[in-house]
Chain A
Amino acid sequence: MATTPTQIPSPNYTAGRMNYRPEAIVIHIMEGSLSGTDSWFKNRQSSVSAHYGIGTNGEIHQYVQENDTAWHAGRVNAPSWNLIKPVRNGLYRNPNYYTIGIEHEGNENSEWTDTMYESSSSLIAEVAQRWNIPIDRYHIIGHHEIYSLKTCPGFKVDLDKLVDMSRRKVGYNPSFTIINQAGSVKTTSQLRIRIGNPSTMNPVLRIAPIGEVINYVGYTDEGQEVAEVTRWYKTVDGNWFWGGGVVEGY
């Protein structure tokens, strides 16, 4: 079910993304209430914002449009995030330009309510699908992974649980059966070859051009459903591609 955020526009954003696009989602904790965050982000003097804020009751507020750059993770300190973009020694691309920021009500020691997990995972699933962001721990990260002096999003949130809930909302089946039967197919369109699992939420290894013949070692009919097709093929290298973009018998 699509989320319908309440719009609370913040003046604290940069129009556009300087030719970058959202590639990851940064999870934050508000260190306060949803209403307090509304006020803080509406205040030009604060010079901070995020794209979304989620209350403990599951309510979602949107402060900045996803096509624009929110000011939520523009400082870097000893980052541990594997996919941060280095420029040269000690200098990084500003993470604000290629991330979506989601704030959550509470403080670093607050237990996350089931409702907040539910609402947050639904939003993450929608955002990830809109921007083709893989739903894994490389792409759904805590703010402290960029700025190590902060504990944000705190000690109570289980990011693995949040990722798992989000993956299930896009139809990912973590337990699928592989039929070990080799063959070959030909692509009928450009097709993404993905690492790990039969799901669009997994990282893209490469894009196969139209007309490429690909050998496979097996397939599953229990992969993520895309356009009513659940068949995915496993390549000889152990990667996966969607069955809706190929024809068999080559």
Chain B
Amino acid sequence: MAVERREIQWLKSFESALEQARAQKRHVLLDFSAAPM
């Protein structure tokens, strides 16, 4: 049984995210944040 993730797994590299999105035909969710890391 798959374990349900409870948090979003944020990448830190925009370029990597865009590359993945292109390869997987997904969208990029780009969050400009000041929240504690």
Partners in one complex: no
Q: Which B residues form the contact surface with A (CB < 8 A)?
A: none
Q: Which residues on A are within 8 Å of B, measured CB to CB?
A: none
